[in-house]
Amino acid sequence: MRRFFQRHVSQIALSPSLALIAIFLYGFIGYTVAVSTTTSKAFPRFDNFVGLEQYWRLFHTPRWHVAFTNMFLFGGLFLLVTISLGLIIAILIDQRIRAESFFRSIVMYPMAMSFVVTGIIWQWLLNPTLGIEVMVHQLGFESFRLDWLTNPNTVIWALVIAAFWQGCGLVMALFLAGLRGIDEDIWKAAAVDGIPAWRVYVFIVIPMLAPVFLTVVVLLSLSIVRAFDLVVALTNGGPGVSSDLPSVFMFDMAFRRTNLGLSAASAVVMLGTVLAILIPYLYAETRERA
Amino acid sequence: MIDIRISDCNKSYGTLKVLKNIDLEIERGEFIVLLGPSGCGKSTLLHIVAGLDRLTSGTIEIGGRDVTDVEPKDRDIAMVFQSYALYPTMSVRRNMEFGLRMRGKPLSEIRPLVEEKARMLHIDHLLDRRPSQLSGGQRQRVAIGRALVRDPKVFLFDEPLSNLDAKLRASMRTEIKKLHQSLGTTAIYVTHDQLEAMTLATRMVVMKAGEIQQVGKPEEVYHRPVNLFVADFLGNPGMNFMRGQIRLDGGRVSADVGAAMLPLDGYAFAMPPSDGQAVVVGLRPESVQPATGQAPAGSEPFVLTLKPLLTEHTGSDNLVVLEMGDQEIVGKFPTDPPPKLGEPVTVGFDLSRLSVFDAATERRL
Ligand SMILES: Nc1ncnc2c1ncn2[C@@H]1O[C@H](COP(=O)(O)OP(=O)(O)OP(=O)(O)O)[C@@H](O)[C@H]1O
Ligand SMILES: [Mg+2]
């Protein structure tokens, strides 16, 4: 009996958390998939199996299309802006500037805030009667207009800017760590070889950061799919449904429109999207290790 | 012809003086090795010659031109690093080409040059690999190849072999030596491996705490160290040191080291000794050997009967610790016959190899 415990102590220690994960993570994923095959309304019911009908309905709901397209639009822009600016800021900070930790803290600070706070701050800043627009008017530029939040065509940029403001710190920190990890001698060799700094970045250093890029893309992609609080606090999906994201759609269907079946179907599609991002990443990671 | 002239060069980081009044002239085609303990400023001096570090005061000339304020790329130098510093995202070929391409040389001229140097270094079959797919020795060859294709006026090496295992290090050492003999390019080589320094250098520079201690041919530095530090730093096993006093007796000079009077008549004193002067007498273990009856050519025989206390077998020799009054000295004995512990043996001293240092100033007398 003692020997059994000694030999299996790690399994025994892990088993409670494994059990919890099995029930509350995988159990409820299965439950959600099950709900998505029913016509459940306010409460889950399993006596009305309809197969994939909810998915068919989902992809024929115009609002879902807006939300799903927005996710890619918002996601693409957010990735592009955050990665390029995050990298540029990291490179600037890497130039052994004075007061480096001061600038680092400034860029990192928004990370300490919740998305709800970020959303509210940017709602105020972009509000035509309170924020930047009023400030610029007071400076004398009466014709200045900043209607991102009220214009359905540009509202996505408001989301991108707020999310960038929040996410930039993390991206910058990851890139800076990567840049600092590069062997000093590479820079010296390049200096002796007479390679200008920008070429060293473009041809040598940035390609060396490929693993960091991968990590950043995965982290940001997951936050895109999860993005909910920011949208609720900043635009609440408006104007109309023009800034809807799948997570907002799902929440709305489940708790406001009492359409659990459809909501569950959208949740499953989101899970599929996450897996589509994660599986290649995990595959690449494990292959690198092997 | 002077190729590199380092004049009165100082380097400080804040209040820390890393290099102090370094003066060094290097002839064209010399292979200079900088040797010294860790942190003595060897790399800093090399970086200053390369232009990677600014000096606090002083001037550097390369090929008769003052390059003190010239960028590294315009100094016509190439450098090989301890960590290889290859560009990991490029193939070996591109690593070797890149510097020349940045200088705007047409690819049609670069290609044959790279192939030629690669053949010379036996890496021509590796040209399309990435650095991560190479062994340490191959990487260092590529790094050397990258320096070679540039055809610089001066090669700078910063401990290029210290990441390699002992065997590979020895073979790379001879290759670097051959390379230098065939190219004849001036080189400065940093190491803290004495064997590398002794075998590669045409002249070596021993440094300590930012100051040059001695500059000279390897044999000269080894056999005639200018102070106790250099004497102690070079040689493995280290030099024997015996404390004692100078005795002037009539016309004869000798050193009284307690257990014996070592005659110093044949010793070329740099400054005249005085009677009773406290000295440290140094003698390398290979100059302490079992007496064969005849003394080494050109020196008077000097033998003592000493008791072995301990032996260490190193493979090719026996290192024997001998009791000499209240001091101990190490001799390098042949492995056969092994000395018997506690049984006195007759030991011959090669007095022509003696070094005598003043005990107070630690400088050679
Ligand atoms: N950037 C720097 N800032 C402050 N001190 C430095 C800096 N670079 C080097 N030093 C100091 O200068 C001294 C000499 O350093 P250097 O790298 O030249 O030593 P080294 O002789 O090459 O040693 P090693 O054999 O370990 O490579 C050391 O005491 C080191 O701490
Ligand atoms: Mg060094």
CATH 3.30.70.2190 is right for the domain spanning B2-229: no
B235-283 confidence digits (pLDDT tens): 988 999 999 999 998 888 999 988 888 998 888 888 888 899 999 999 9
- Give Cα A76 distance to the centre of its chain: 11
Check pLDDT > 70 for residue A252: yes
- Rounded to an integer, what distance in angstroms lies between the CA atom of residue A2 and that of residue B354? 72
Distance between CA atoms of residues B246 and B260, nearest Å? 12
Q: Give the CA distances from residue A80 to residues A74, A87, A220, in Å, rounded to whole numbers and listed in that order.
A: 10, 11, 11
Q: Which of A193, A199, A204 to probe the B interface (max B CBs under 10 A)?
A: A193
- Give the number of other Cβ atoms within 10 Å of residue A143's Cβ: 6
- High-pLDDT (> 90) share of chain B, %: 66
Q: Across A36-45, B19-28, B163-172, B263-272, which has the greatest mean pLDDT?
A: B19-28
How open is the CA angle B341-B317-B315, to the nearest 5 degrees?
110
Cα–Cα distance measured from residue A105 to residue A263, given in angstroms and rounded to the nearest whole number: 40
To the nearest whole angstrom, how far is the Cα of A119 from the nearest Cα of chain B?
41
Confidence of residue A226 (pLDDT cuts 50, 70, 90): confident
CB B41 less than 6 A from any atom of ligand 1? yes
Helix segments in A143-245, DSSP class H? 155-180, 184-193, 197-199, 206-208, 210-226, 229-234
With a CB cutoff of 8 Å and minimum separation 6, the contacts of B279 are B243, B244, B245, B246, B255, B273, B356, B357, B358, B359, B365
Range in B77-81, B111-115, B183-187, B251-255 the model is least confident about: B251-255
In Å, what is the CA distance from A99 to each residue of A87, A165, A258, B67, B304?
19, 21, 54, 32, 69
Instruction: Quote the CA–CA distance of B178 and B175 in Å, as a whole number.
Output: 5
CA pair distance B78, B59, nearest whole angstrom: 20
pLDDT of residue B298: 56
Beta-bridge partner residues of B62: B4, B65
Q: What residues does each domain of chain B span?
A: 2-229, 240-358
- Contact between chains at B87 and A186 (C-beta distance less than 8 A): yes
* Angle, CA A148 vertex, CA A145 and CA A151 arms, to 5°: 100
Tokens standing for A285?
């990671």
Band (pLDDT 50/70/90 cuts) for residue A113 is confident
CA separation for the pair B202, B177 (Å, rounded): 10
Q: Which one of 3.30.390.50, 1.10.3720.10, 3.40.50.300, 3.40.30.10 gives the CATH number of domain A63-289?
A: 1.10.3720.10
Q: Which residue of A has its CA nearest to B74?
A: A194
Q: A194 and B47: CB-CB below 8 Å?
A: no
CB A166 within 8 A of CB A81: no
Within B57-97, strands assigned E span 57-62, 65-66, 77-80
Which residue reads 């042949």 in tokens? B334
Does B43 contact ligand 1 (Cβ within 6 A)? yes
- From the list B72, B83, B89, the residue facing A208 with the nearest CB is B89
Nearest to B103 among A186, A194, A207 (CB): A194
Q: What is the dihedral sign for C-alpha A183, A188, A193, A199? A: positive
Q: Which of B30, B52, B36 is nearest to B44 (CA)?
A: B52
Query: B240-358 belongs to which CATH class?
Result: mainly beta
- Residue A43 in this model has a pLDDT that exceeds 90: no
> Does position A148 have pLDDT exceeding 90, yes or no?
no
What are A38's two structure tokens?
């029913």
Instruction: Kindly provide the ipTM of the predicted complex, given to two decimals.
Output: 0.84
| Nearest-CA residue for atom 7 of ligand 1 | B13
Of B18, B83, B192, best ligand 1 pocket probe by most atoms within 8 Å of the beta carbon: B18
CB atoms within 10 A of CB A123: 18
Contact between chains at B99 and A194 (C-beta distance less than 8 A): yes
Most confident of B219-228, B264-273, B335-344: B219-228
* Amino acid code (one letter) for A35: V
Widest Cα–Cα separation across chain B: 79
* Maximum separation of any 2 CA atoms in chain A, in Å: 84
Spatial neighbors of B61 by CB under 8 A, at least 6 apart, are B2, B4, B5, B7, B67
Tell me the pLDDT band of B300, cut-offs 50, 70 and 90: low
Q: What pLDDT does B293 receive? A: 60
**Average pLDDT of the residues in B350-355:** 90
* Secondary structure class of B128 (helix, strand, coil): coil
| Residue with the two structure tokens 């942190």 | B39
Cis, bond preceding A246 (omega within 30 deg of 0): no
Query: Tokens for B348?
Result: 């011959």
Which of B140, B237, B141 has the alpha carbon at shortest distance from B194? B237
**Domain positions in chain A:** 63-289
Q: What is the pLDDT of residue B296?
A: 55
Q: Which residues contact A226 (CB under 8 A, 6 or more apart)?
A: A247
Q: How confident is the model at residue B338 (pLDDT cuts 50, 70, 90)?
A: confident
**What is the distance between the alpha carbons of residues B87 and B132, in angstroms, rounded to a whole number?**
10
Asked if pLDDT for residue B41 goes beyond 90, the answer is: yes
Report the candidate in B222, B166, B181, B185 with the shortest Cα–Cα distance to residue B35. Answer: B222
Q: Which of A182-191, A244-253, B4-13, B300-309 has the lowest mean pLDDT?
A: B300-309
Instruction: Please say if the pLDDT value at position B299 is more than 60.
Output: no
Q: What is the C-alpha separation between A288 and A281, in angstroms, rounded? A: 11
> Is a pLDDT exceeding 80 seen at residue B284?
yes
pLDDT at position A139 is: 86
One-letter amino acid for residue A147 of the chain = D
CA angle, residues A111, A116, A122, in degrees to nearest 5: 80
Torsion, Cα A226 A228 A234 A240, to 10 degrees, reads 110
Q: Contact, A253 vs A263, CB < 8 A?
A: yes
A185/B102 Cβ within 8 A: no
Among A56-70, A142-156, B243-257, B263-277, where is mean pLDDT lowest?
A142-156
Neighbour tally for B320: CB within 10 Å: 25
B217: phi then psi, degrees, rounded to nearest 5: -65, 150
Return d(Cα B98, Cα B110) in angstroms, integer.
Answer: 9
- Determine the average pLDDT of the residues in A185-208: 93
pLDDT-based confidence at A153, cuts 50/70/90? confident
Amino acid B142: pLDDT:
94
Q: Cis ω on the peptide bond leading into residue B237 (within 30° of 0)?
A: yes
Burial class (CB in 10 A: 0-12, 13-18, 19+), A228: middle
Cβ of B99 within 8 Å of Cβ of A208? The answer is no
Ligand 1 atom, smallest distance to B41 CA: 18
**Substitution site in B9, B10, B12, B13 for ligand 1 pocket (most atoms within 8 Å of beta carbon):** B13
Among A193, A196, A203, beta carbon nearest to B99: A193
pLDDT at site B294: 60
